[in-house]
Amino acid sequence: MSNLETNKKYCEVIESKIKLDAKPVAMKLLTSEDDIPDGIELINEKIRHCEMVRKASLGSKFYSTIEEQLCLGGAGAIGLREMPEKLANGEKYYSLGRFKDLKTAKKLTSKLSIIKDIHWGIIYAPLDEANFEADVIEIITEPIGGMKLAQSIVYNTGEKINPSFAGIQSLCGDAFSNPYIEKGINFTLGCDGSRKAADIKDNEMTVGISKYKIEEVISSLELI
């Protein structure tokens, strides 16, 4: 099957098993302009990565370079630039009152999921319109959808799930970079930025699935 046909199948299975108000989103990092698939145009506004995820979940497909990324922390997490120094060293989060002291802030920021290799761009598309192999698929769902996805994972592994999140850099670090780096799956409860800018609802969470795990998740969803 072509990438598009495979992604349509994945989307059909997910939508038949998981309660969704928006499409799963396929994303792929690009090393150069030559990697852009046919029919994918440059986004025509400068917004945050999490807003781009939301925009794609509502039906848009496009690519972005660093120039279209409004949130430099998000862009740093997903590998489009180096992480801004004051975010990397915890100063920014400490100044926002997120931590009791700078040492604690630095302890957390040193553990955030950040893609070190710098890429030229990134594609976003609804999963059933993605004519490329996604690096990561993000699913915005209610906790019951997260529960079903968790069940699809333990069906094959027999191991408990250990999500990694901190209420900071959610749709960028937690849901994209973590699965990308770990070649796995991660669950996140969102962050202030994604809930405010990308309209992630109070009753929604996000699950990121790497390309190395999506077939396993889909086959398990079909069986349970």
Q: Is 27 helix (H, G, I), strand (E, B) or coil?
A: strand
pLDDT of residue 124: 98
Span 112-157, pLDDT tens digits: 999 999 999 999 999 999 999 999 999 999 999 999 999 999 998 9
pLDDT average, residue stretch 166-195: 96
Q: Which pTM was predicted?
A: 0.95
pLDDT of residue 121: 98
Instruction: Give the residue from 10, 34, 32, 27 showing the smallest Cα distance to 62.
Output: 27
Number of H helices, E strands in the chain: 10, 6
Q: Do 164 and 113 contact (CB within 8 A), yes or no?
A: yes
Confidence band of 87 (pLDDT split at 50, 70, 90): confident
The Cα 157–Cα 86 span in angstroms is 39
